[in-house]
Structure formats: C-alpha cells, structure tokens
Structure 1
C-alpha cells in the first residue's frame, strides 16, 4: 500500500516524530485548517468584555435609584462628596478588607484612577518624593509578565521604562523584584494584579504580598499599584481571598506603599459602573487634594443606584455567583477544546483559572505570532501576540491571552477548536523546518 505515511496519534509529542510522521501530521492539520477557513467564521476573543447575558443581570439599575437623597438626607444630584457616597464606600471597604475612611469611590473606570495617580506622581511626586517623578532622570517600573497590556501602555505613554520579572503562581518573583528595587532609586513602582491575575490567573499569596510591601527599596516613594480588578470574579465555589496589602503594609511601616484599585466594570455595566481606590489616609488626602482641581464630586446618583442594587457586600457576592453560572461553562469549553486538539503533543500549555477573565496559553516558542495570524485568516480574532509583555515584546514569541467571556458558549467552543487547529499547525510547520 502506498501514499501518505500514517499519521501518529495526537497524543504523541511532535518533537519525537520522524520526518515522515511529522509530514503526515502537518498534512492533516493543513486539511483541518482548510475546512476551518471555509466556514467563514467571524469570532472575537480579543478583549475580556462581559457578555450581553452578564450585562442583563444588572438591568434593574436602569430603574434606580428610587430616591434622590443619601441616608444623611443630602441630595445626591448636587455637588460635593469628593471621595464618594459613604454607603458605597462601606460596601467596598468590607469587600476589599480595608477601612471605609481609606476608600474613594469615583467614576466608572479604575483605569482612569490609575492614570490620575500616575499623572499626579509625575507632576507633583508622592508625599515622600524629593521631587516630581517627571524631574527624575529616569523612572522605571517593575512589570510582572505575562501581565495586563493597558498597564504597560500607560507607562509607555508617560515615558516610564519597564523592567520584566516573572509572574509565578503565587505572585511576582519576589527575589527578582527585591534585587531590582533595593539598589536603584529610579525603580519607583510595580504593577500587581493580586487576584486571578490578567492573564495568568495567579493569586498573590499572603507571604508574597507581605514581602512586597515590606522589602527595602532605594526609592523612598516606591509605590505598588495593586489592581484588584478581579477580586470577586470567581469561577468555582473555592473563592480566593485577596491578600490584605494595606494592613500588611501598615504593619511593616510602609503604609503609603500600596494603592489599591477595583471597579464594578465587570460586575454591573462595563461603561456605567463605579471605580474604587483604597489607600493610606495620607495617600488618600494627597490624591483628593490633586483631584479637587479637576472635580467637585463624582456621580453620586450612580453611587446611590449601585447601593440600592447591591444592598450589602453579600449582595455583590450573590450577584457574582450569577456571573459565575454564565462564565464557568465557557472556561470549561476552552479547556475541553484545547485538550482535545493539543493534549500530549508537547507544543502548548494553558492554565485552568479559578477566576478572572482570561486563559493564558503558551505555545511552541516562536509560533505565537503565527498562531494569531492563522486564526485571523480563519475569522477568529485573538489578542495580538506579545500583548501581555511591555512594548509587546515577548522574547520567546509564545504567549497568547484568550478572552472567552464575550461570545456565547457555542461560539467559544467553535473558536477554541479553531485555535487548537492553528496551534498544532503552527507548531508542525516550525518543527518541520528543523527536520
């Protein structure tokens, strides 16, 4: 019998195949890919957006608030209350394990709050700063990778240099961070997504958090941007608790070091939620002093709307369990599809997150860009390769962030099966070149 060599079972590592076996595998994946392209798909997994079904969970907000007065009798439609409605600050203080007086509730975007803090640091410096950061010869930030692309683009816009450290399962590599910060006063801060990190799903342990808030730093005004964007976004009943960074910092004599951020952007309405900041009282006063030049108060009508909608911290937790019912099957579908297409091939690894909004996919070195391009040509839009690294430079060209939240479940299943085909095809192409 003649013809194409028999293709090996998918469970055999591709690197162990003979040239003929690899050619047969490659031929099969090209046929699969041709069928995929012929389907004419148009699917988008580029950003971690809530789906319409998730947004529907908050439609009761559209008929709230039922009154125009807060519990003290003040009219929420008027000016004032720069740090936000106290009733809402109380809810988030309990959720974030901080004190109410440490909390600021603002507009709809925590990213805007982060930008404001960075801009104030550049223009005015922190309370401990010898000068505004913009007057320093160089400002550097430590960036755990893979990480959140918008953090990196913000720093790039401000001319802040970025230095990579690994993001481990329990948080940033403490030894690497410590080495960077202890002898270089130009290293002014670090980004940390402490709970279900974007995109790795890592959860910062109490031990790592304690080390970060207490480590010696050459810069007296070193800051930890503690972006707790996914603190309540659990995918299982085993709900991770965020490390208590503010309390740990205060106990170590570094109360001003961490500044915490969160929001309801992926809890209620993405464009009409509430952003939250929590910090030491000195940092809070510093922030509000500069904010007062730009604002006389936030949207307290929206604050009251959210207070009535949630009612209590338990109301937020109950609401997020309904989100979980929608999201958990989509994340399971990602794992099922990738396992079916790639298990045993030795060309990809991915996490099975316990929460958050992303799946972290590492493919064969040097093939991530090719995978994204193949997927795009087949009608599946993925986040650009390298997005989870500063300057979009993944030194190994292997990391891809998957965002399965927005499409409906059937579309996630279709898209991820297609991604599996693209990963296998790109890996076989690369390995075939070396045979």
Structure 2
C-alpha cells in the first residue's frame, strides 16, 4: 500500500491512524537515545578484566618500565597485534591514548601548521584547502575539517566506495588535499571500499603533490556475521602505485575494550611516521603505556581480538536484526524509506521521503526518542535532500531499542503522510 496507490481520503485516514499512534507514543513518557554509537554496558562488561591489569609487573616485552616517561611510538607488543589488523609493518604503527579522533586532529593540524613531507609549504599558507567528503559520512570528520576552515565537497558513497568519477574530477583541483574514508562498514551506511576502488584511490592522479587518504578503519573487526570482511591494504596499494605517503590509517580499541580508556593507532609510510612523531614529540613525552600494557596482556594476539569481538557480536547482532525487522515490517509495505543492511559496524543508514528527515527527527524528539540531527552525516550538517537519518542501535537494551524503533517508524509514516497531504 503505497501512498501513490491511495486516494486523498485514504491517505488522510492513514495519517489520522498514525497521528493517534503518535499521541499514544507521546503519552508513554519515553526517554530513549539512538544518537551515538556507544557500546552498551553489557559490551563494556566484557573487558572488566582490564581493570585488574597489568598486575604487579609493569615492564613491557623490552624490559621498559611502562610507568615512566618515554616510548613515544607506543608499546611494541600492542603495536604488533594491531599492525596485523591494520596491514601495516609494525615499525610503521604508532600506538597512542584513547581516541583515534585525536590522531586525526593532530594529522590535520600538523599538516596545516607544518605541511606534510610532500607539501611545498604548510597548508595554512595555501589560498584554500579542500577535502573530499563521501556522504553519508562520519559527522566528527566533517566537524574537524570545518573547525579549521577546510572547505568540504561531498561526493556520493556507493556500496563499494566513493563515486570515483566525482573524486577524479575533484582531484584535478590543486586545493584538494585529502579525502575522508571509513573503509569497512562505513559510518553510517555500512559500505565497504572494494579492492578495485582502493587501488584506484592509491593510483589517483592528483593536482596536489601532498594529497592524503585519511583511512579511518574504525570498524575493521566489528563484524555482525561470521564473515570477516577484509579491508583493502591501502598503505601497500599506495606504495605499489608510487604514492607511499598518500594513505594514513587510523584505528582504535574504543569499541573493542573501553570506549573511554582504550588505545588508538596510526599507521602509514616510514616517512610519514617520522614526520608524525617529530611533531607529536613537541606535544607529549609519551602515551599511557600502562594502559597499553594492560591491553596487550588482555588481548594477547589478533585471534584474542577476534574472540572478544565474537562476544560483542552476540550482543549487537540481535539489536541490528531488531532494527531491520521493524523497518521491513513497518515501513517496507509503504514505500516511504530505504535503509542499509550492514554486515558490520555500528550504524544503520535510513533514507526517508525527501524533505522529511528533519520533521521525523523533530517528531521523535517530541516523543522522547533522541535521534542524531538530520543532515549530521553531511558536511556542514546540510543534507540537500533532507532524507538521511543515522540509527545507532548499540547502546539501548533490546527492549528499549524495539520501543524506540517502533516509535521512529510511526514518525516516519506520519511525516510522509503529512507531506503527501500538504498543499502544493
């Protein structure tokens, strides 16, 4: 039953039915939050053992006392684990503190103030600096570049990566210095950058000699099925294409262990690592190596990471299935929305009727269901079609999530009916 197949009176009756359901929803006094992709308390409980580590032995595998200063590039035993996940040689990986966003921030700011190893001058001395931003994308990437006055140009994110025809055209502009990408289970669409698209990015002809791929591999091991989707080896592809410094890979344990006290990682070419550490050394004497040692002993090896992530999957997969079931059952018959069905990551991307996303979020808010603002997944918060909504299923309990999603579906249907009935 699509709206186009109904008479106006039938649409009005449907609208009134949804309005009654919405008023009941408002009376329920809900206070639910689907805004951020935070691990649930049950997921955090999986890593409680970390709080008792590293025990009485504070020395790392090289015999260094982790309680003291130094070790700017992080503990070797932890870097060995994540170097394999990131597909970067261990001596080209830096382990930091809890937030990979901080490493992205430093990379951008160091480039602005000092330039990269390939830059003719610091970026701040250029007339303009531009980044390519695949959409829908990660709002914190866009907030970071906006904060420092970097112009952002959106391109469409397909299931296998960004629209490469648009990327090629933009890269011919010498002001274009980089592209943001979440390559595996992209935020929020769940898209996975294919090997072919990654290879094209690595070999891309760019007008700027210091073009950078900021490869935020936040969800490399965050699978929702038994399939372990493989991330393209972007550092290796760039090296093979004669652009060894092009890619900078980021990762973290934020959604593996503790979001508030995990460990982040940066991997790239040897020259980029020397550049990064040379700048970082002016900001800090070293990271929290005690926490890094705790993580190394808790995780053990790469298979230890996968075993822990299997436990996360047992908690997360039913929540994602609940989201998809409600979307299929409530919205599917009415042809008012499409959505992603990710095999991993932390989000579902929902596209509602053009022009109604902000109204849907408003209705949800007035019913006690907090959603990420409409347009958040686009540069400057501006979705030109006003249709995209990011759903974060991880934090609420399954019962709370089901209630919230049923309410969201009611809001989507009500907003669609309102628009259909609105005078032209």
TMscore range, shorter length:
over 0.9
How does 1:412-423 map onto structure 2 within 5 Å? Answer: 412-423=401-412
Distance 2:46 2:262 in 1: 13
1:346-384 alpha-carbon deviations (Å, 9 max, x no partner): 110011110000000000000000000000011000000
Deviations 1:13-51 (A, max 9, x none): 112211111111111111111111111100000000000
Contact map agreement 2:86 2:249 (CA 8 A) in 1 = no
Which residue among 275, 278, 287 is the counterpart of 1:286?
A: 275
Out of 162, 167, 192, the position equivalent to 2:152 is: 162
> What's 1:9 paired with?
none
**CA distance in structure 2 between the aligned counterparts of 1:40 and 1:305, rounded to whole angstroms:** 42
Aligned equivalents of 1:419, 1:16: Cα separation in 2: 24
Shift, 1:128, TM fit: 1.1
1:223 aligns with 2:212: yes
| 1: CA distance, partners of 2:20 / 2:402 | 20
Point out where structure 1 has 5 or more consecutive residues left out of the alignment. 1-11
Indicate the SS of the match to 2:84.
Answer: helix
- CA–CA separation in structure 2 for the residues paired with 1:287 and 1:151: 19
Match for 1:341 among 304, 322, 330?
330
Is the aligned partner of 1:112 residue 2:102?
Answer: yes
Alignment of 1:164-203 (within 5 A): 164-182=154-172, 184-203=173-192
Structure 2 unaligned runs (5+)? Answer: none
The reply on whether 1:131 has 2:121 as its aligned counterpart is yes
Q: CA RMSD in A?
A: 0.8
Alpha-carbon distance in 2 for matches of 1:434, 1:310:
60
Structure 2 counterpart of 1:4: none
After superposition, where does 1:39-188 map in structure 2 within 5 Å?
39-66=28-55, 67-182=57-172, 184-188=173-177
**Contact in 1 for aligned 2:346/2:394 (Cα 8 Å):** yes
| Partners of 2:377 and 2:411 in 1: CA distance | 20
Query: Do 1:155 and 1:162's aligned partners in 2 also have CA atoms closer than 8 Å?
Result: yes
Number of the residue aligned with 1:6: none
Alignment of 1:223-242 (within 5 A): 223-242=212-231
Distance in 2 between the 1:273 and 1:418 partners? 34
Counterpart-to-counterpart distance in 2, 1:15 and 1:364: 13
- SS state of the match for residue 333, structure 2? coil
Structure 1 segments, 4+ long, off by >4 Å, are: none
Q: Distance in 2 between matches of 1:148 and 1:115?
A: 14
Within 1, Cα distance between the matches of 2:164 and 2:228? 24
What secondary structure, in the 3-state scheme, does the structure 1 residue paired with 2:215 have? strand
Alignment of 1:356 with 2:350, yes or no, is no
- TM-score computed with the length of structure 2 as normaliser: 0.99
CA distance in 1, matches of 2:23, 2:100: 43
1:275 match: 264
Alpha-carbon distance between aligned partners in 1 of 2:251 and 2:62, rounded to the nearest angstrom: 26
The CA deviation string for residues 149-179 of structure 1, in whole angstroms up to 9 with x for no partner, is 0000001100000001000000111111011
Counterpart CA distance in 2 for 1:72 and 1:248 is: 32
Aligned to 1:7: none
After TM superposition, the structure 1 stretch with the greater mean CA deviation from structure 2, 337-346 or 221-230, is 337-346
Which residue of 2 is the match for residue 245 of structure 1?
A: 234
1:310-354 Cα distance to aligned partner (Å, 9 max, x none): 011100010000000000000001011112211121110011110
Task: Indicate if the aligned counterparts of 1:70 and 1:76 stay in contact, CA closer than 8 A.
Answer: yes
CA contact (8 A) 1:15 1:431 kept: no
Give the Cα–Cα distance (whole angstroms) in 1 for the partners of residues 10 and 257 of structure 2: 52
Q: Is the 2:39–2:255 Cα contact (8 Å) retained in structure 1?
A: yes
| Aligned-residue offset at 1:434 | 4.5
Paired with 1:43 and 1:212, the residues of 2 have a C-alpha distance of 40
2:237 paired with 1:211: no
Q: Deviations over 1:72-129 (max 9, x none)?
A: 2111111111100000010001112221011000010000000001000000001111
**1:296 Cα shift?**
1.3
CA distance in 2, matches of 1:204, 1:50: 24
Counterpart contact for 2:61–2:76, Cα < 8 Å: no
TM-score by length of 1: 0.96
2:396 alignment partner in structure 1: 407
Secondary structure at 1:401's aligned position in 2? Answer: strand
C-alpha displacement of 1:423: 0.1
